Structure 1
């Protein structure tokens, strides 16, 4: 068995809430909704609960908010 075969080593499925997230399907990372970058779960800091999207950086989050007309 290699790293890719281990349970929880692929993409996780999360439900994003206000200030927290819940793991629906275990995994090692989520994919940034803007950049496509893999974000290790222990490094996930930015997401939008309304859109249910994770972001790699605050800049990616702001870009999405501007695209959706949610930020000035």
Structure 2
């Protein structure tokens, strides 16, 4: 198995399956993109994601923003 952090994947976007408390690298790469900002997130710095939406977020603010745009309407219709 290839190491997802190896130098030959530098600059390439990884394909990742986001799980509830972990993630699985499906295709090696050095980073993923934030679903809100488009910012490249190095895999070794990835801390925020949604297993439900299969999206990564650069920080807690971006994750909260996505929640407010999507799930908040489901949890509180009409708001």
Superposition TM-score, scaled by structure 1 size: 0.86
| Aligned mate of 1:58, from 60, 63, 69 | 60
Over 4 Å off, 4+ runs = none
CA RMSD of aligned residues (A): 1.5
Distance 2:32 2:21 in 1: 17
Task: For structure 2, list consecutive stretches of 5 or more residues without a partner in the other structure.
Answer: 1-6
TM-score (structure 2 length as normaliser): 0.79
Q: Which is higher, the Rg of structure 1 or of structure 2?
A: 2
Aligned to 1:3: none
Q: How far apart are 1:69 and its partner, in Å?
A: 2.9
Give 1 or 2: higher helix fraction: 2
The superposition leaves residues 2-58 of structure 1 with CA deviations (integer Å, 9 ceiling, x where unpaired) of xxxx63220000000011000000000000000000000000000000000000000
Q: d(CA) in 2 for partners of 1:25 and 1:66? A: 30
